Structure 1
């Protein structure tokens, strides 16, 4: 399995991690779907809804989105392994889940 980071660690997220920030980054039907899902979520699941939609909003707000999608479809998108991500996080002093 390989992954592509949404943004580099030294960059600030494009989308504020708030309900209004997420909604602002989404458009039309996606914004309404976000509000509907958040409004119907039990309180103990609201954070999960916000996290999922924040990821969606970050991708939607990426100015490179078209290029990234085209590269992924063409099989030319650069990727790294999870082992490499873990190694880099440890080198930079980042915490890993479960540690």
Structure 2
């Protein structure tokens, strides 16, 4: 199994809060995000925020077309799962 390497950005394109996420989403997505967030139980709210933050980051990726072309061409650099976990551990990030 392989995973795409993580590339750090200078700051985040999308702030990790409800306001930042909503601002990055299109109108229909924004409405769905708020509907899910408002309907979520307190213990589920973090999961809703994380999922929609990921969607907002994908939607605002300036290299999305280039990345998609590389995926389709089979030229995307990959990393083994073991190497990815080792990098995350070395950086003090969770690996669960």
TM range, smaller chain: 0.7 to 0.9
How many residues are aligned here?
Answer: 96
Aligned in 2, Cα 1:24/1:37: closer, same or farther, shift over 3 Å?
Answer: same
The whole-number CA distance in structure 1 between the counterparts of 2:33 and 2:5 is 23
Cα deviation, residue 89, structure 1: 3.1
Alignment of 1:1-99 (within 5 A): 1-5=1-5, 7-8=7-8, 11-92=10-91, 94-97=92-95
Q: TM-score, normalised by structure 1?
A: 0.81
Unaligned runs of 5+ in 2: none
Q: Which runs of 5+ in 1 are unaligned?
A: none
Shift of 1:45: 0.3
| In 2, Cα distance between equivalents of 1:54 and 1:42 | 18
- Separation in 2 of the partners of 1:58 and 1:46? 18
Give the secondary-structure state (helix, strand or coil) at the position aligned to 1:17: coil
Q: Could you tell me how far 1:6 is from its partner in structure 2?
A: 5.2
